Structure 1
Amino acid sequence: MYLNCHTYYSLRYGTIKPEQLLAITSKNGIQTLALTDINNTSACLDFVRLSENYDIKPVLGVDFRNGAQQQFILLAKNNNGFQNINQYLSTFLHDSHLKIPEKAPQLEDTFVIYPYKNQPDDALKDNEFLGIKPQDLNKLKFSKWNHFRSKLVVLQTVSFENKKGFNTHRLLRAIDNNTLLSKLPKTEQGKETDVMLPYNELCETYQEFPELLENTKSILNDCQIAFDFSQEIPNNQKSYTNSETEDYDLLKKLTYKGLSYRYENPDEVIYNRIEKELAIIKEKGFVSYFLINWRIIEYARSKNYFYVGRGSGANSIVAYLLRITDVDPIELDLYFERFINLYRKNPPDFDIDFSWTDRDDITEFIFKTFKNTALLTVYNTFKFKASVRELGKVFGLPKAEMDMLTRGKYQINQLDNLSQLVIKYSKYIQGFPNYLGIHSSGIIISEKPIHYYTATFLPPKNFPTTQFDMVVAEDIGLYKFDILSQRGLGKIKDAVEIVKYNHPEKEPIDIHDIKRFKQDENIKHILRNAQAIGCFYVESPAMRMLLKKLQVDNYLGLVAASSIIRPGVAKSGMMREYILRYRFPERRKDAHPVLLSIMPETYGVMVYQEDVIKVAHYFGGLSLAEADKLRRGMSGKFRSREEFLQVKQLFFDNCKQKGEPEALTEDVWRQIESFAGYAFAKGHSASYAVESYQSLFLKTYYPLEYMVATINNFGGFYRTELYVHEARMHGATIEAPCINTSFNEAYIKGTTIYLGFMFLNALEAKTVKKLLIERQNHGIFKSLDNFIDRVPISIEQLSILIKANAFRFTAVNKRELLWEAHLKINKVSFEEHIITLFKTERINYKTPKLPSTFLENAFDDIELLDFPLCNPFELLQNPSKHPLKATQLPDYVGKIVSIEGYLITTKNTVTKNQQMMHFGTFIDREGYFIDTVHFPPVASKFPFRGRGVYAITGKVLEEFDCINIEVVSMYKLAVIEDPRYADTPKTIAV
């Protein structure tokens, strides 16, 4: 009896979760319900899936509105009608300038309901009806429509559950309208009566108009919607060629064609694995999926794009032979069943990484090549702190009070009423969808039109995007293609090109010669000693220390390290246990015999997702189908579902039956649970390790070129400053940008690196473009006057270049150049110089002699580049009191020392007692790393105070050859006063 129901996917309007709406419906004795979110179909498929649990017949539609103004409701008679509604809605979601009309279009297999206040002037069509709200009933008695009751239906809107829901609705509307709650217009909000009434009460309300009840019931009876959630047959594009038979023949042909590229002498093991995989791929209906991925990477290779195929797809030899991945599953004994098995119901997916500069072109190729394609959405939800600020504005709280609330520095009972309401409702709306975004990588290619399942919107990337997320896509059997971008591949690709121009005498680099890289002794050395700054996935402080502890110098060790570093293994305490068993073989005897037999390579420690499956199957007695439910739980997406909890109980029951000690079972399960949301498939780690080796090779043999590529791709784990420092540590001379030598990006010439114009704060791209075009067309600049004559530029933009010392070739002090510039150039930025027959003579003003000091230059660097080009220790106000060096720390293990370090990065974490602690990374005066740990009492007493040099006092600790300092006190050292603004600047000769 309800034709107009909203969930909280009626964004910033509705307040009911989809499943909560079904529960309310069931409680009120309603057996059929129409879900009609406002301009949105995000909840539709999940609503249909869940309705079975509540014995409720679902009906789908959309409430079409301009803002809060309801125009009409469209209901789908069947799946075709739903597709038509989605297609119609998408026209407005693709073009924000279009307004929804008052009159609905004639769409096949749909019903139209107009609100009484929007009653049309002309006659209603067969599928059109007028919705009568309870408050309209008195007016209806005196209306012409009282004589046309066959066209009238019940329109009791449901937007919230109760008074609290209505209050929440008003707050959401105020947020949406960016207004104070007290100024929210009535026209921008629903009615407090927009709640669900029990069936009997609703009938009683309309008892004088029984025809309305019958008409409503008739419409709902005529609507039938059905989707298959069994996932038995994928709903992706069925065939890549003209038929599924041709698909399989092509896949088989391509697979065997790839043998000669991958293996010199393929043996029976390889052939058996190929046949096994092809049979399963065919049976599960994933042939076209493999071929579409193959077509994507074929295009990438034709464009010379670097890519990495990773994820559980790397467990497949077919993927390896198709060159979707570069990981040999035979070499690593990868478990194909982790990727696809006959018991796995939900579809698999490949993750393919491209350089961040290439991904958009790959995405465009996919949309042009495959018919029914869309990006997946992601629900951006209200976060607590952001909600506090939004609601604080709605209630008119001052900024200082909102700051205090977001920091959590309050006692709830000491807050005034408004602040308490802000906290209360911020917690309530936490997790509500706020707006639809784009999934970081997910693309679906469907057999049916995308609008069969959902409406689409058009975000800034201009690719149609679904209104449901990846979880719903998997539920309906639409498995996604993950097309990701990362800067690591951009660094590798650019480094290869930079080596070409800086070392033209060298042979071209075969960056895909991974087998040679694995055997290279120099690469082993920098890996073992963790000298991998800038290298993909192995440069972070945590990874740097783990590599030292493990003394990794081989591929398998690096693959394990890539997974061990994940929070799941670390959280379970098994990272430390793995290190102990790795370094001390006698420790491996402590492992449970069954676990050791399942995971001999990792000494009985669960490291990969495959390990979890194997332990669940062999130790916990779960079937492969049950173990796959566990695997899905590991992803973090399905943990709340009942099936995961059922598997948990089964695991314990089976272990008890087998006679395993309860303590051991609990410990093993604790390790399994710690993997949730964090674990890597082994193939995923192996794929990462391949990219790590490529970057390690470049860092080993071409460190300067690789650092330039790293800088130009905006670094990695660290700020640009550290990569500039790392280049200097490898012998580079670092130069500030120069108008005659630099480009937009950093440029290397021999061992000299010129920073690019793009690193100068506030320098506009159009200025750089004009400069570079003029220099390319007419040669280098001779003087400041020559530059001003040739490049149209404002005084503000020119000042940036002068302060950056980009005119140092003139040998004129930059302070004098600034005077000249202000005297010779108009403040207006000219688009083009006007060419005249006679050149105007420029007046040469005599400027005063103004020396530029070393310290002034350093502060200009900090202002324009965000870091000084000099050693930051040279900017301290007072001379160093602690001459201790990082390289000397091993001599002081167990002792209290004081040392000075320039802060590079920090990592914040929370202890079991929910107290904040930190890990710090510094460099000493000579540029070597200092690692620190700050336990809660010290962390609160001696906090980090931003970038700068700190005096650190603490105890030197050593664990597995790793040195760090347990800090007992820490103070930030004062830097000199900025001499550009000081009354009596200190002068240091340049």
Structure 2
Amino acid sequence: MYLNCHTYYSLRYGTIKPEQLLAIASENGVQTLALTDINSTSACMDIMRLSKTYKIKSVLGVDFRNGAQQQFILIAKNNQGFQNINNYLSRFLHHQELQIPDKPHEVIDDCFIIYPYQKNKHFELKSNEFLGITPQDLNQLKFSKWNQFKHKLVILKTVSFQNKKGYNTHRLLRAIANNTLLSKLPKSEEGKATDMMLSYDTLCETYAEFPNLIHNTKQLLKHCTIDFDFENITPKNQKCLTENESSDYKLLEKLTYDGISYRYGSDIQKNVYDRIEKELIIIKQKDFVSYFLINWKILEYARSKDYYYVGRGSGANSIVAYLLRITDVDPIELDLYFERFINLFRQNPPDFDIDFSWKDRDDITNYIFKTFKHTSLIAVYNTFKFRASVRELGKVFGLPKSEMDLLTRGKYNNNQLDNLSQLVIKYAKYIEGFPNYLGIHAGGILISEQPIHSYCATFMPPKGFATTQFDMVVAEDIGLYKFDILSQRGLGKIKEAVEIIDHNYTEQPPIDIHDIKRFKTDERIKNLLRNAKAIGCFYVESPAMRMLLKKLQVDNYLGLVAASSVIRPGVAKSGMMREYILRYRYPEKRKEAHPVLAQIMPETYGVMVYQEDVIKVAHHFGGLDLGESDMLRRGMSGKFRSREEFLKVKQKFFDNCKKDGKSDDLVADVWRQIESFAGYAFAKGHSASYAVESYQSLFLKAYYPLEYMTATINNFGGFYNTELYVHEARMHNGCIEAPCINKSSVEANIFKKTIYLGFMFLQSLESKTINRILTERNKNGIFQSLDDFIERVSISIEQLSILIKINAFRFTGINKRELLWEAHLKISKTIIQEPVINLFKTEKINYNTPELPSTALENAFDEIELLGFALCNPFLLLTTKPTGNLRARHLEKLEDKRIVIEGYLITTKNTKTANGKIMHFGTFLDRDGDFIDTVHFPPIAAKYPFRGKGIYRIVGKVMVEFNCVTIEVSELERLAIIEDPRYSVKSLNPTFQKKKSFQDLKKVIAL
């Protein structure tokens, strides 16, 4: 009976959650309703999936509006009608400048069209068109000509909110959407306070004088049937890559067996063929053949373009994927668990997360959209977060910024707040989690057998690729499984480093960066791993990973694979990270493992490290079948409402263990470890894929550290910011130079052991300025002087000042302060034009500028302003020279001693203790450039907070665990740096110091 129901996916308008809408309808005796969100189909699949639970027939449509102004409602008669509505809506969402008309200008088949009575009184209606009569229209209808055409009238009772609080929330959302004060929100931008659901009986009573309207509405809904099967989910991805499923399988089989010689050469073990046969049978049985072939097709294109990529995810446990070159992980070598990759109980295909360089990913995406017919990106719901909501609502209520700052920081007593501030907090909590706007999933792409619009409308974000209006969870609910095409900077670093090396070392053969077997036995790489000297290297450079490598002293591939997963929060949370380190370092500790667990996981000494370990334990230790274990895996992933999945199998796990005679304490401990993995554990193949990329970057770091650091800087680093990678290059005897007009490019480049930073690192230097400089230099040679530069390059004084201040004209031998004066005298502030080529060069006027020396310290402050960091040692900027001689390398011998040491802050990690208190981990550099790691427990974190970038005096106790040194901080003080000499009178030329004004300064210059 309701033809116009909104959920909160009517963004910044509706306030009802999808399931809540069905619950409200059920409570009010409503058996049929039409979900018609405003310009949105985000909630449609969820409503259809949940309708049976509430015994409600749901119909789908869209409420087409310009802002809050309703134009018309389209309701689908059937699935084809729903697709037609999505096609129509998508046209407006793809071209947002288009206004929705008063009526569709084209025929939209298999749909009913409902026009609001107040807006559309004066045109004839087609057979599928109706006028919607709201309760407010009833009195007027009695005297209207439409009273004579009751067969074209239906009930239009809008439902947008549940209650008065929902309406109040709606008004606040509308004010946010219109960026206005609540008191100034136009009524035309609001819904009606009565847009709530009435009981079925009350609705009928409201329209009792017009029984035709009730009859027409019922008949309209009776003629609408939408069907999506959520119980027997089958894959809805593109079914075939070739002409049919049979030829698809033949192709997959051929590609698999053709790949054997590439991967294994001539020495092939029987277990390789056994594994291939087993996988192919089940891949065919589960209808995943096209999923593998589509991934293969994408990566075949990538290889043709010489793009680097890494295939990971649970699919990395597959030998078929290895032979098709989707992944570079050998499941035979690593004894990867087949059932983690695929089993008969698994409904969805295995995950293939394919990483590309951030420079190549867009081309791959473009190729996919051109190659496959029904393709789209996947949306994510960007929701209202509490702090952001406080700010938005604060603006709506007109609170001053100071009060909003106080509320967002949580520094208030709720009982002492005024009414407006209390309302801000109340409603910020209420709308927390509401969808705010649609974004794009990091890498998910759908390749569907049916048009995407069969399931939802699509919108067009700035990336220029059609994107669904629902997220990946909804996609999987209907059987659409995403292809993950991701980007990461690690691959960009590796590829660029190889290109730099091949260019700079032409006398040696090109590097084979894919020779992983050689890298695994390389002693230099082993040394880097053992000593955690892996700054810049993929996945192994973070403070936590650096400390773990130090504790484990890993120097082999399998150890690194394990470390890549051990570092994950689940293992650490369960306490098994420490247990794994103990058993890894001390073989006698391995005997403490439970015999069953040690038998299941001999490689990790009975410690659960990987996702498949959890599945093995659930299956072999807990007696769950593989279907239940797969349910557990899905719950662990964090994607599918983890608590529900765990609870379904938890009791059976405990019951089975009890029957087996296992002790309650042991079972509880094992289950605790399983639970801690939720959302965090890696599949072993996934970790192994990461380790392959780690080895590639470690090889480059071991043999070509400066070239690799140059590539790292150009790809905007990794875990750390650019400054640390510049520092790391210096630690490898590199000479780091600021940008130079004649030596630098857009990116950093390297000449032997000298790295020139690129122009792109200069803040506020425009790309068009950079292009002009490089184009002119490439065309007519290097610049001879400032005059030569000004004559050849069109540039504003502001842009030229940046280049001079960074000392990019140092080749002239003229002090940059003097160059700045010259530049201001020679370049006018008028709009610059392109330089005109003159037949004869005019002689430049040379001015006698005053002596304006600049010091290294002044240069450092210019560098901080323009690059974000100084190129000198930051300890030189302290007001007082440190008196102590303690360095990071001394600390291991000072275990349990209280020490004082100075450190330059690099990064911090904030975390919470079990009782919710904030604590920190800090990473610093000492004066020699070595790392200092610190722990700041809650009392110290509260008393001595970090105060931004700088050098700190650290007081604390030295702690040593497994050869890894940290300082448990007891005091922390940021040390003062010198006054900026650029703005100090003392730094001026003595001649200048005698002058009284700017006019006096100008007299110094002989014009």
Q: Decide whether the 8 Å contact of 2:291 with 2:349 is kept in 1.
A: no
Aligned to 1:691: 693
Q: Decide whether the 8 Å contact of 1:638 with 1:644 is kept in 2.
A: no
Q: Decide whether the 8 Å contact of 2:60 with 2:82 is kept in 1.
A: yes
- Structural mapping, 1:436-835, within 5 Å: 436-639=438-641, 642-835=644-837
Task: State how far apart, in whole Å, the 2-side matches of 1:435 and 1:358 are.
Answer: 28
Shift of 1:675: 1.0
SS in 1 for 2:70: strand
1:195-234, CA deviations, whole angstroms, 9 ceiling, x for partnerless residues?
0001111111011011111110111111101112235421
Amino acid at match of 2:177: D
Give the 3 Å change call, closer, same or farther, for CA 225–477 of structure 1 in structure 2. Answer: same
SS in 1 for 2:981: coil
Shift of 1:460: 0.3
SS in 2 for 1:409: coil
SS in 2 for 1:258: helix
Aligned to 2:1000: none
Unaligned runs of 5+ in 1: none
Task: State how far apart, in whole Å, the 2-side matches of 1:575 and 1:971 are.
Answer: 33
1:821-849, CA deviations, whole angstroms, 9 ceiling, x for partnerless residues?
00001123424013344433321111011
Task: State how far apart, in whole Å, the 1-side matches of 2:241 and 2:781 are.
Answer: 53
Q: Does 1:392 align with 2:394?
A: yes
Q: Decide whether the 8 Å contact of 1:793 with 1:829 is kept in 2.
A: no
1:928-976, CA deviations, whole angstroms, 9 ceiling, x for partnerless residues?
1111111111111111111111111111110000011111111111110
More displaced 10-residue stretch of structure 1: 480-489 or 637-646: 637-646
Give the 3 Å change call, closer, same or farther, for CA 641–117 of structure 1 in structure 2. Answer: farther
Amino acid at match of 1:940: A
Aligned to 1:15: 15
Give the 3 Å change call, closer, same or farther, for CA 961–829 of structure 1 in structure 2. Answer: farther
- Structural mapping, 1:19-168, within 5 Å: 19-104=19-104, 105-168=106-169
1:354-389, CA deviations, whole angstroms, 9 ceiling, x for partnerless residues?
000000000000000000000000000000000000
Q: Decide whether the 8 Å contact of 1:819 with 1:847 is kept in 2.
A: yes
Aligned to 1:236: 237
More displaced 10-residue stretch of structure 1: 934-943 or 688-697: 934-943
Aligned to 1:292: 294
Shift of 1:623: 1.2
SS in 1 for 2:204: helix
Give the 3 Å change call, closer, same or farther, for CA 802–370 of structure 1 in structure 2. Answer: same
1:582-627, CA deviations, whole angstroms, 9 ceiling, x for partnerless residues?
1111112221111111111111111111111111111111111111
Aligned to 2:361: 359
TM-score (norm 2): 0.97
Shift of 1:649: 2.2
Task: State how far apart, in whole Å, the 2-side matches of 1:452 and 1:81 are.
Answer: 9
Aligned to 1:331: 333
Task: State how far apart, in whole Å, the 2-side matches of 1:304 and 1:776 are.
Answer: 27
Q: Does 1:196 align with 2:197?
A: yes
Give the 3 Å change call, closer, same or farther, for CA 782–500 of structure 1 in structure 2. Answer: same
1:768-823, CA deviations, whole angstroms, 9 ceiling, x for partnerless residues?
10000100000000000000000000000000000001000000000000000000
SS in 1 for 2:517: helix
Amino acid at match of 2:70: Q
Give the 3 Å change call, closer, same or farther, for CA 120–287 of structure 1 in structure 2. Answer: farther
How many residue pairs get aligned? The number is 988
Task: State how far apart, in whole Å, the 1-side matches of 2:947 and 2:884 are.
Answer: 20
More displaced 10-residue stretch of structure 1: 250-259 or 635-644: 635-644
Q: Decide whether the 8 Å contact of 1:348 with 1:479 is kept in 2.
A: no
Task: State how far apart, in whole Å, the 2-side matches of 1:857 and 1:88 are.
Answer: 60
Aligned to 2:187: 186
- Structural mapping, 1:310-349, within 5 Å: 310-349=312-351
SS in 2 for 1:388: helix
SS in 2 for 1:36: strand
Amino acid at match of 1:658: D
Aligned to 1:907: 909
Amino acid at match of 2:130: F
Shift of 1:119: 1.7
1:701-756, CA deviations, whole angstroms, 9 ceiling, x for partnerless residues?
00000000000000011111110111011011111111001111001000011111
Amino acid at match of 2:52: E
Aligned to 2:1003: none
Q: Decide whether the 8 Å contact of 1:900 with 1:951 is kept in 2.
A: yes
Q: Decide whether the 8 Å contact of 2:913 with 2:919 is kept in 1.
A: yes
Shift of 1:43: 0.6
Q: Decide whether the 8 Å contact of 1:391 with 1:422 is kept in 2.
A: yes
Aligned to 1:978: 980
Q: Decide whether the 8 Å contact of 2:635 with 2:645 is kept in 1.
A: no
Amino acid at match of 2:31: Q
Q: Decide whether the 8 Å contact of 2:248 with 2:289 is kept in 1.
A: yes
1:460-480, CA deviations, whole angstroms, 9 ceiling, x for partnerless residues?
011000001100111111111
Aligned to 2:214: 213
Amino acid at match of 2:226: I
Shift of 1:644: 3.8
SS in 2 for 1:194: coil
1:680-713, CA deviations, whole angstroms, 9 ceiling, x for partnerless residues?
1111100000000000000000000000000000
Amino acid at match of 1:195: M
Q: Decide whether the 8 Å contact of 1:150 with 1:211 is kept in 2.
A: yes
TM-score (norm 1): 0.99
SS in 2 for 1:984: helix
SS in 1 for 2:982: coil
Amino acid at match of 1:428: Y
More displaced 10-residue stretch of structure 1: 333-342 or 517-526: 333-342
Give the 3 Å change call, closer, same or farther, for CA 966–986 of structure 1 in structure 2. Answer: farther
Q: Does 1:407 align with 2:392?
A: no
Shift of 1:665: 1.9
SS in 2 for 1:146: helix
Shift of 1:640: 5.3
Give the 3 Å change call, closer, same or farther, for CA 710–947 of structure 1 in structure 2. Answer: same
Q: Decide whether the 8 Å contact of 1:9 with 1:433 is kept in 2.
A: yes
SS in 2 for 1:257: helix
Task: State how far apart, in whole Å, the 2-side matches of 1:11 and 1:658 are.
Answer: 53
Q: Decide whether the 8 Å contact of 1:315 with 1:339 is kept in 2.
A: yes
Aligned to 1:226: 227
Task: State how far apart, in whole Å, the 2-side matches of 1:912 and 1:12 are.
Answer: 36
Q: Decide whether the 8 Å contact of 1:233 with 1:284 is kept in 2.
A: no
Aligned to 2:999: none
Aligned to 1:274: 276
Q: Does 1:947 align with 2:930?
A: no
Task: State how far apart, in whole Å, the 1-side matches of 2:148 and 2:954 are.
Answer: 87
More displaced 10-residue stretch of structure 1: 380-389 or 879-888: 879-888
Percent identity over the alignment?
A: 75
Q: Decide whether the 8 Å contact of 1:854 with 1:987 is kept in 2.
A: no
Give the 3 Å change call, closer, same or farther, for CA 530–383 of structure 1 in structure 2. Answer: same
Amino acid at match of 2:44: C
Task: State how far apart, in whole Å, the 2-side matches of 1:891 and 1:827 are.
Answer: 62
Aligned to 2:844: 842
1:542-581, CA deviations, whole angstroms, 9 ceiling, x for partnerless residues?
0000001011000000000000101111111111111111
Shift of 1:348: 2.6
1:242-288, CA deviations, whole angstroms, 9 ceiling, x for partnerless residues?
00000000000000000000002111100010011001111111111
Q: Decide whether the 8 Å contact of 2:382 with 2:438 is kept in 1.
A: yes
Shift of 1:294: 0.4
Q: Of residues 921, 944, 965 in structure 1, which corresponds to 2:923?
A: 921
Q: Decide whether the 8 Å contact of 1:114 with 1:129 is kept in 2.
A: yes
